[in-house]
A = this chain, B = another copy of it.
Amino acid sequence: MTSTAEDPSTSRAYPMPLTRIELAVLSIVDGSLAVLLGKREQLPHRGKWALPGGVLRIDRDGDLKDAAQRVAHERLEVALPFLRLQTAVGSKSRDPRAPWALAIVYRALVPFAAIDPKAGKRLEALRWVAVDDAVADARLAFDHAELIRGATEATRAEIDRLDLPFDFLPQKFTLGELQTMCEAMLGRRLDKSSFRRRLEERELLQPVRGEMRTGAFRPAQLYRRR
């Protein structure tokens, strides 16, 4: 048998694609689901808005999730604790910087108030854009509009089945606050009684006895994750 790609001594002979990590960071901004976009400082697509991303560094990243974390630090100066793999895309022509480019896309849902991303290396500016606008914006760099569409769909599907992003919420919250947040994520209104019944059946929450949120109107029971 001659040496082949299966042979450790020669497998590196095949050129490998430029492998990048792209981040779809979602949050609620002004009551709507929004995605964090960066304005590109460099070619290609200089001046266009795109998902923050960076090249996979096999010398520094232990695995794909590590790489996504590092990119979050470098580009946004934040940690993203709750990353989920979204998809992988790769082809000859998707990125002019390389003859063949592969992108591994992660998505994260982060509390808007809790993170304060700053434009890091190679980004001129950062901006939150409502996902519905971003998906429809043909001016986004690369195929990022389509990547955002996928990340939005997956995130909304999670909310729909009450797979809630507790890391997104404060420790204690009222059911009204939770419902309002879910409505913002889904982009539609929910029925109060159904919402509460579903939460009840799934035993996701625990009332914090004696603790209420007071304000202008009737006080509301506080809950925390069970």
Contacts and interface: CB of A to CB of B under 8 A. Distances in A.
Which of A4, A7, A17, A90: most chain B Cβ within 10 A?
A90
Interface string A86-125: 0111111000111110101000000000000000011000
21 contacts: A1-B41, A4-B122, A5-B54, A6-B42, A7-B97, A8-B43, A8-B44, A8-B97, A11-B18, A11-B55, A14-B55, A14-B57, A15-B58, A16-B18, A16-B19, A16-B58, A17-B19, A61-B92, A64-B91, A64-B102, A85-B87
Contacts of A6: 42, 97, 122
A62 interface: yes
Contacts of A8: 43-44, 96-98
A12 interface: yes
A58 B17 contact: yes
Contact of A19 (B4, B19, B41, B121): B19
Interface residues of A, number: 44
Q: Copies of this chain, how many?
A: 2
Given A5-B54, A5-B55, A104 B90 contact: yes
Interface in A62-95: 62-64, 85, 87-92
Interface string A173-203: 0000000000000000000000000000000
A120 to B, nearest CB: 12
Interface of A: 1, 4-8, 11-12, 14-19, 41-44, 54-59, 61-64, 85, 87-92, 96-100, 102, 104, 121-122
Which of A8, A17, A58: most chain B Cβ within 10 A?
A58
Contacts of A89: 64
A58 B100 contact: yes
Contact of A7 (B42, B56, B59, B121): B42
Given A58-B100, A64-B89, A85-B88, 8 more contacts: A6-B122, A7-B97, A8-B44, A8-B97, A16-B16, A16-B19, A63-B92, A88-B104
